[in-house]
Structure 1
Amino acid sequence: MIPANTTGEGGTTVVYGAQPAAGEPGPPVLDLYLDLRCPYCRRMENALGETTQRLADTGEVVLHHHFGTFLDDQLGGHGSHRALAALGAAADVGQPQFMAYLRTLYRNQPSEKHDGLAEERTLLGLANEVDGLRGDSFDEAVSERVYDTWARQVSRAFDRSGVAATPTVVFRGRPVAVLDSAGEAVPPERFTAQLHDAAE
């Protein structure tokens, strides 16, 4: 099973934003490499998520999300993987639901040493906060782990990407700083200034 709103071989990249018709040019791609248990990803998403979504909504960029699950290996547990599978179910419902659920997962992210996102009741409970997400199709996909195989493929694609840490953001082949030297998210204006510089 491959969710809707994905691209690449096996649908391993989740897309948010305009998807032009075949052969038609589209907005430049902003690549985001994330792990759903990563606390630094949470900081970035909480501070810059609205900015990246607005850039996609206005057609300035299209967001390509690449997800790793390496924190499951490092810390033990299944939270990154099972949250990713649930996020795939959200992507299948629609782009708005995917983005809102991604934001909700990060906003409610447990301590990285606590494997709370591995719990079905947690994933379904957080889905209640997203308009239009809960329904028989989504609930069954989460409870039956319909997108588990897809999540493993997404994780393997991340491992092959050469990206060594999360969060990593790339625009026009150039890395974009999203955290400062203290590990805090950069201000939105500094983030967007880097994108404008890369476009020149």
Structure 2
Amino acid sequence: MTSSTTPTPANTTGPDGTALVYTGGTRPGPGDTLCVYADLRCPFCKRVERGLGAVMEELAAEGRLTLEYHFATFIDEAAGGTGSLRALSAVGAASDIGPTESLRYIRALYASQPAEDHDLFAETDALLRIAEEVDGLRGPRFDRQVTEGAYLPWARRVADAFKASGVTGTPTVLFNGRPVSVISPMGYAVTREAFLAELE
């Protein structure tokens, strides 16, 4: 239950449901939470998701932690456009279908991420086309919500919550509130082994 009068997707948590939550269908671990702060148009966030996204999903699916995503729309403001916001709204629609579908859609969006100066995600057709890569996602409900921008008000709340969080950049990952290094000095995702070592 949220205080907002605008719709909130399923599988969310926190005040006004501004964080997407994934536990892999299992009971969460012993209070451990991995929070990922990201922008769907951020190229470094793409590198983290492609390098470590499956590892994070695996940890949540094993019940070792709860995975939370907190999204920003920095790139919309810096490069212009509305792609971060509209893609986030579509992720909300995916979360209504299921937490796994939402996670896989996030991954598909990153895989199709354009250059920062190309506002591809502002295009409804592109968001729907990318959704075809996720089994079970496309359908009348999802398509309608994306086309109508049903979760745009929620996406704006998510972006506002990010700004209020104190996190100043993306990607940022916190394990039980403690910063975790996910980008190497070379600008790429750290290895699986290095990442897991930071969670011990």
CA distance in 2, matches of 1:25, 1:17: 9
Matched, 1:9 2:15: yes
In 2, are the aligned partners of 1:18 and 1:26 still within 8 Å (CA)? Answer: no
Verify the 8 A CA contact 1:36 1:106 in the aligned structure 2: yes
Partner of 1:112: 116
Paired residues of 2:26 and 2:61 also in contact (CA < 8 A): no
Maintained 8 Å contact 1:38/1:112: yes
How far the C-alpha of 1:70 sits from its partner, in A, is 1.3
Partner Cα distance (2:59, 2:26) in 1 = 16
Residue 134 of structure 1 aligns to a residue whose secondary structure is coil
Residue segments in structure 1 that go unaligned for 5+ positions in a row: none
Structure-2 change in CA distance of 1:42 and 1:177 (3 Å): same
How many matched pairs? Answer: 194
- Give the TM-score normalised by the residue count of structure 2: 0.93
Q: Of residues 122, 125, 128 in structure 1, which corresponds to 2:129?
A: 125
Post-superposition offset of 1:16: 0.7
- Cα deviation for residue 181 of structure 1 reads 1.2
C-alpha distance in 2 between matches for 1:15 and 1:27: 14
1:152 maps to a residue whose letter is R
Equivalent in 62, 72, 78 of residue 74 of structure 1: 78
User: Is 2:195 aligned against 1:188?
Assistant: no
Cα pair 2:26 2:63 within 8 Å, conserved: no
Deviations 1:65-86 (A, max 9, x none): 0000011011100000000000
Q: State the 1:172 CA deviation.
A: 1.9
| RMSD over equivalenced CA pairs, Å | 1.6
Q: Deviations 1:106-143 (Å, cap 9, x if unpaired)?
A: 01100111100110000000000100100111000000
**Residues 93, 40 of structure 1: alpha-carbon distance in 2 compared, 3 angstrom cutoff:** same
Q: Say whether residues 1:84 and 2:51 are aligned partners.
A: no
Q: Which runs of 4+ in 1 moved over 3 A?
A: 18-21, 24-27
CA distance in 2, matches of 1:149, 1:26: 33
- Of residues 144, 149, 165, the one that matches 2:148 is 144
Q: Mind listing any 5+ residue stretches in structure 2 that lack a counterpart? A: 1-6
Distance 2:144 2:30 in 1: 34
The answer (yes or no) to whether the contact 1:20–1:26 under 8 Å persists in 2 is: no
Q: Deviations over 1:5-32 (max 9, x none)?
A: 00111110000116899xx985411000
Take 1:105 and 1:60, find their aligned partners in 2: how far apart are those partners? 26
1:19-168 aligned within 5 A: 26-168=30-172
The AA in structure 2 aligned to 1:140 is: R
Tell me how far apart the structure 2 counterparts of residues 20 and 187 of structure 1 sit (CA, whole Å): 26
Tell me the TM-score normalised to structure 1 length. 0.93
